[in-house]
Structure 1
Amino acid sequence: MRYLCLIYCSQAQMAADVPSEDMAAFVNAHLDYDDALRMAGQLAATEALETADSAAVVRVRQGKVWVTDGPFAETSELLGGFYLVDAASDDEAVRIAAGIPSARIGSIEVRPVAPMEHGPWERSP
């Protein structure tokens, strides 16, 4: 089963826990973990995101498109990246998430991916 591991962290916490001189080692720890998951056949995709101030929120209401700059919610923890992984169980997905280096600074939300061919997403005949 696939799981999406969403990485959340505040910019203040990141700056406090990973000073600029340690950033390369922090990034390399993620790349090493990526390689380990890829070699185990458990990594489907992973990406870091640009900072939240580069985001745009798009809403369509009554046929009109509304675009707002910045993150969707006003919160201290922002989405910084993700891992899409294959795991045999919820427990294994949590174990994988715990190995993501960012888990030592922020938090990792682990969510099962709902297959599109099941449930309310099925096309009507």
Structure 2
Amino acid sequence: MKFLCMGYFMPEKMDAQPKRKIEEIMNECQPHLEHFYESGKVTMDAGLSVETKSLKRKKGKVTVTDGPFAETKELIGSVFMVEAENMNEAIELASLHPTTQLNIGEELGWRIEIRPVHYFKNEPNELS
């Protein structure tokens, strides 16, 4: 079964850090990512830009707004997909990600959300 995992962060806390500190944090993530990938169960991993657009259908038209929903204080900074037997195994796998391994993540408001995937289209005419 596939699970989509979304890594959240609080932009104001990250933006308050000097660039050099952010580079150090990202370098500290590398060994954890390598260990995470070694599980062989990570099927996709992507880091996301902070630029965000929200699309919503309203009165028969699609509207586009900047950013996430107004009430959201967190942004999604990464997404990854794991192949796991069940939610417990998905939690085990996601806990290897730097989001939960680095102490600084707690200070910066990092967290992971895990959701089972009902369908996944990877190639044209292919649904999993």
TM normalised by structure 1 equals: 0.73
What is the RMSD computed on CA atoms of the aligned residues? 2.3
Conservation of the 8 A alpha-carbon contact between 2:47 and 2:77: yes
Distance 1:82 1:110, change over 3 A: same
Deviation at 1:42, TM superposition (A): 0.8
SS in 1 for 2:95: helix
Which digits, 9 at most, give the CA deviation of each residue in 1:45-71, with x for residues without a partner?
1111111xx211112234312111122
TM normalised by structure 2 equals: 0.71
> Taking every aligned residue pair, what percent have the same amino acid on both sides?
32
Which digits, 9 at most, give the CA deviation of each residue in 1:1-52, with x for residues without a partner?
2111111121133346x6432323332344433333333211111111111x
State the match for 2:83 in structure 1: 86
Segment drifting more, 2-11 vs 70-79: 70-79
More helix by share: 1
Conservation of the 8 A alpha-carbon contact between 1:26 and 1:101: no
State the match for 2:35 in structure 1: 36
Distance, in Å, in 2 between the alignment partners of 1:26 and 1:76 is 21
Distance, in Å, in 2 between the alignment partners of 1:19 and 1:94 is 32
Which digits, 9 at most, give the CA deviation of each residue in 1:61-112, with x for residues without a partner?
3431211112224222221111111122222211222222223331111111
Query: Any stretches of 5+ residues in structure 1 without a counterpart?
Result: 117-125
Distance 1:12 1:108, change over 3 A: same
Q: Spell out the pairing of 1:102-113 with structure 2 (5 A cutoff).
A: 102-103=99-100, 104-105=105-106, 106-113=110-117
State the match for 1:61 in structure 2: 58
State the match for 2:12 in structure 1: 12
